[in-house]
């Protein structure tokens, strides 16, 4: 797989294009960094420093590859990979088993929901393919930091500034029903634990402020953009939500960049997440995104990957594999606990109780270890 790493020198800029294509450089007079003192040209740097300002944007814009064209044939091929694979493996398709015909008055069956988290779980160990959020959440400082940095990144993109990071982040979580428990957990922190969290959030927020330039509104930056694609007559739904999508919808060639911001350290599954996003965006749009990237707020790294046909086909095969495992899990036809899975083997030792006889995953309190920091 061709990968342009952050450490490599970047190529010469492409000729500038019109507004809205992510090629033109917009410099609002008001805010945030141009590459300032201490930020050297990436072509000349001898030791690694986080990119900032225009250099960071150029890293996203210039992938060293031509931008993918609008390719209906590619989209058809990817759909074919997914749908033929789903059709070939019918194990686990729920026909209700009651012999009754499905009529117009019957409730429409819910599609099998495939998210990046479920893919990780299913591909790591099929016994853990249950939906995220199916049990009580356990909280940690790293999870809290991730949520706070997520909303602060969104704030920076939308309004161009962050005030008091902890106050702004908590105010944002307070109006999100899905984060009410986490908000309560953070508010309940006291003493050194809260000071430590505050210090890390402030450090990472300062990095965001210093490194991320104002995005030209003509690029239509969207935060927390939902993406959904139905496959196989609506029986399977791929679902994703990306931290940042930039670029107007494609006309003749790819024009969208997708960025995921994370407060944690690099993990191998982050690349797989990006590939999944690229696949879903490709299936719902006239063209693939031209680039996907993860921004690491902890270090300032920007891990950039241009989107190619090969990347998309591999992502489709991985998604198919995961979707089939999830379907088997949900129908109760999947395998039980695996001795090769560290979490399963803990359970098999019997310390935390027997594996349920019906093959469903055990309670989340015993095995739910978050995959993302």
Partner 1 sequence: MTTVGDRTRRLLAPPPNPVPEAARRHLHQQLASELGSIVAPLSASDPVVVTLPVLRQARLRPDSLGEAVEAFAWRPIFVRRSLGLAVVEACAGGQFRTPLEAVGPVADEAVGRWEKTGWRTFHWEPWVAGLAPGARAVVLAEAAGWASALWSSLRWSAIPAHSRFGGADDHWVCPAAPPVRLKGRTELRIPLDAGGPGREEGAVALVSVSGGCPTDTWSEELAYLALVASLRSASLPVPARVLGLWPDAGVDRSVEIDTDNLARAVERAVTTTAAVVRSRLALPV
Contacting residues toward partner 1, per CB under 8 A: 70, 72, 75, 105, 107-108, 110, 151-152, 154-155, 157-159, 163, 167-172, 174-177, 215, 217-218, 220-230, 234, 237, 248-249, 251, 284-286
Between residues 162 and 347, which has the closer beta carbon with respect to partner 1? 162
Between residues 1 and 96, which has the closer beta carbon with respect to partner 1? 96
Rounded to the nearest whole angstrom, what is the least distance from the CB of residue 245 to partner 1 in the complex?
A: 9
Cα(290)–Cα(12) distance, rounded to whole angstroms?
Answer: 17
Between residues 127 and 250, which has the closer beta carbon with respect to partner 1? 250
Contact criterion met (CB below 8 Å) for 295 and 263: no
Between residues 10 and 227, which has the closer beta carbon with respect to partner 1? 227
Between residues 23 and 223, which has the closer beta carbon with respect to partner 1? 223
Contact criterion met (CB below 8 Å) for 197 and 182: no
Rounded to the nearest whole angstrom, what is the least distance from the CB of residue 103 to partner 1 in the complex?
A: 12
Rounded to the nearest whole angstrom, what is the least distance from the CB of residue 179 to partner 1 in the complex?
A: 10
Reading the block at residue 185, the tokens are 């957990």
Contact criterion met (CB below 8 Å) for 22 and 247: yes
Between residues 8 and 26, which has the closer beta carbon with respect to partner 1? 26
Rounded to the nearest whole angstrom, what is the least distance from the CB of residue 252 to partner 1 in the complex?
A: 10
Rounded to the nearest whole angstrom, what is the least distance from the CB of residue 155 to partner 1 in the complex?
A: 4
Between residues 207 and 337, which has the closer beta carbon with respect to partner 1? 207
The residues with which 301 forms a beta bridge, in sequence order, are 296
Rounded to the nearest whole angstrom, what is the least distance from the CB of residue 354 to partner 1 in the complex?
A: 32
Q: Which distant-in-sequence residues (6+ apart) come within 8 Å of 314 by Cβ?
A: 1, 275
Residue 249's alpha-carbon distances to 154, 246, 257, 301, 330, in angstroms, are 20, 9, 10, 27, 35
Cα(277)–Cα(234) distance, rounded to whole angstroms?
Answer: 19
Between residues 183 and 296, which has the closer beta carbon with respect to partner 1? 183
Rounded to the nearest whole angstrom, what is the least distance from the CB of residue 66 to partner 1 in the complex?
A: 20
Cα(359)–Cα(151) distance, rounded to whole angstroms?
Answer: 38
Contact criterion met (CB below 8 Å) for 247 and 225: no
Q: Which distant-in-sequence residues (6+ apart) come within 8 Å of 271 by Cβ?
A: 294, 303, 305
Cα(294)–Cα(6) distance, rounded to whole angstroms?
Answer: 11
Rounded to the nearest whole angstrom, what is the least distance from the CB of residue 206 to partner 1 in the complex?
A: 16
Per DSSP, the residues of 310-354 read HHHHHHHHHHHHHHHHHHHHHHT-S----TTSHHHHHHHTTTT-P
């Amino acid at each position: 797989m061709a990968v342009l790493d952050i450490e490599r020198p970047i190529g010469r800029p492409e000729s500038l294009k019109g507004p809205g294509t992510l090629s033109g450089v917009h410099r609002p007079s008001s805010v945030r960094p141009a590459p300032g003192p201490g930020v050297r040209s990436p072509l000349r740097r001898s030791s690694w420093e986080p990119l900032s300002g225009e250099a960071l944007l150029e890293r996203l814009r210039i992938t060293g590859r031509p931008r993918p064209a609008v390719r209906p044939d590619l989209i058809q091929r990817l759909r074919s990979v997914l749908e033929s694979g789903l059709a070939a493996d019918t194990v686990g398709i729920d026909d209700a088993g009651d012999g009754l015909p499905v009529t117009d008055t019957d409730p429409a069956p819910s599609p099998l929901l495939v998210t990046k988290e479920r893919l990780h779980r299913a591909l790591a160990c099929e016994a853990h393919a249950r939906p995220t959020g199916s049990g009580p959440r356990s909280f940690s400082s790293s999870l809290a930091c991730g949520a706070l940095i997520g909303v602060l990144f969104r704030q920076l993109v939308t309004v161009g500034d962050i005030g008091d990071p902890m106050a702004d982040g908590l105010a944002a979580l307070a109006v999100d029903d899905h984060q009410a428990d986490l908000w309560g957990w953070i508010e309940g922190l006291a003493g050194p634990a809260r000071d430590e969290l505050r210090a890390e959030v402030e450090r990472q927020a300062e990095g965001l402020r210093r490194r991320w330039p104002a995005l030209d509104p003509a690029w239509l930056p969207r935060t927390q953009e939902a993406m959904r694609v139905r496959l196989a007559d609506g029986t399977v739904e791929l679902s994703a939500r990306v931290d940042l999508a930039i670029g107007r919808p494609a006309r003749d060639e790819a024009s969208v960049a997708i960025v995921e911001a994370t407060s944690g350290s690099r993990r191998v599954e982050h690349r797989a997440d990006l590939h999944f996003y690229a696949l879903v965006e490709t299936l719902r749009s006239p063209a693939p995104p031209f680039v996907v990237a993860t921004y690491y707020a902890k270090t300032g790294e920007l891990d950039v990957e241009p989107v190619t046909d090969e990347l998309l086909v591999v992502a489709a095969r991985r998604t198919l594999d995961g979707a089939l495992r999830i379907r088997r899990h949900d129908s109760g036809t999947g395998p039980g606990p695996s001795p090769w899975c560290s979490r399963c083997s803990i359970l098999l030792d019997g310390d935390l109780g027997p594996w349920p006889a019906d093959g469903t995953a055990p309670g989340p309190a015993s095995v739910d270890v978050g995959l993302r920091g």
